[in-house]
Amino acid sequence: MKVAVVALPEAREPEAALQWLKGYLGAIGVEPSLVRANVSLEEVAAVIAEQDAVIVVGAAGNRKAVEVIGNALGLKLEVNKEALELVTGYYMDRVDIPGNVEELAITPEFSYVIPNERGPVPAFVAFSLTDDRFVAATPPGFEETIETFEAGIQDFFREKTGKKYSVTFSMDVECGVEEAESIVSEVNSGVKGVFARLDARFYTGKGLPLTFTAYSETPEGLSDAMERVEELVKKLAAEKGLRLVEKEKAGGVKEEDL
């Protein structure tokens, strides 16, 4: 499966978004053949033609980008009813309602829409009607991109790799950012099927949150990955003279509806 992850010039914090998406995909079992920021619309069209799946950061809500995606997949555009409800719902209690609400809800026909909890524009996944290719478009923000990937985009990749089970958990450690990033790097290189990172959403005020998302085809494989992560982190913390504060599991072992 050939996969590309690209960011348009309009994307905010594109390098961080690309790094996280690459990390997630690697844990799912997909190694992108192309990861690139500041990609033009002409380049997006060429990338879609060469890949089985593409994530385009910053394309959702961008009429010209949506047109490129639709044309590349042979799809017409439409004001997506579900997307329009999400956009209008976001602005319902606001004074500064933009005049292009319907434009923000335009997607290629038959698209799967993913709510955006951090902004007005939902993400979407569009599918070719002639082959198995698909394109995921996210809003421009880093947080919006990551959370819409977590909320739905990832499922389409997990369906291809069979990674039905996932768990996210964090281990708080008292240390500086550089030391925490060193542990994260070693976990990412040492434990297959796991994406490690520093994730402020898990900050408890008791240390830096080393956060891990593990994927597996079986519950047993998931438990094994969690154990290997915990053992490695404890070993590295002991070697560096760092204190682990607590461990928090978020959501538990989960089988997605794929």
The residue with tokens 């900050």 is 203
Report the C-alpha gap between 85 and 104 in whole angstroms: 11
**What are 53-90's pLDDT values in tens digits?**
999 999 999 999 999 999 999 999 999 999 999 999 99
Q: CA dihedral in degrees (171, 177, 180, 181; nearest 10)? A: 130
pLDDT value, residue 246: 62
**What are 133-154's pLDDT values in tens digits?**
999 999 999 999 999 999 999 9
Q: What domains are defined for the chain?
A: 3-161 (3.40.980.10), 165-255 (3.30.70.360)
Number of neighbours of residue 40 by Cβ within 10 angstroms: 12
Contacts for 100 with CB less than 8 Å, ≥ 6 apart: none
Res. 251: pLDDT tops 90: no
**What are 91-137's pLDDT values in tens digits?**
987 777 777 899 999 999 999 999 999 999 999 999 999 999 999 99
**What are 164-197's pLDDT values in tens digits?**
999 999 999 999 999 999 999 999 999 999 999 9
- The pTM of the full predicted model, rounded to 2 decimals, is 0.92
Res. 255: pLDDT tops 90: no
Is the distance from CB of 202 to CB of 194 less than 8 angstroms? no
pLDDT value, residue 247: 53
Q: What is the rounded average pLDDT for all residues in the chain?
A: 94
The average pLDDT across 235-248 equals: 86
Report the C-alpha gap between 167 and 79 in whole angstroms: 35
Beta-sheet pairing, 3-7 with 165-174: unpaired
pLDDT value, residue 36: 98
Is the distance from CB of 247 to CB of 210 less than 8 angstroms? no
pLDDT value, residue 253: 47
**What are 201-219's pLDDT values in tens digits?**
999 988 999 999 999 999 9
pLDDT value, residue 94: 75
**Order of strands across the sheet that contains 243-255:** 194-198, 208-216, 165-174, 243-255
Beta-sheet pairing, 3-7 with 53-57: parallel
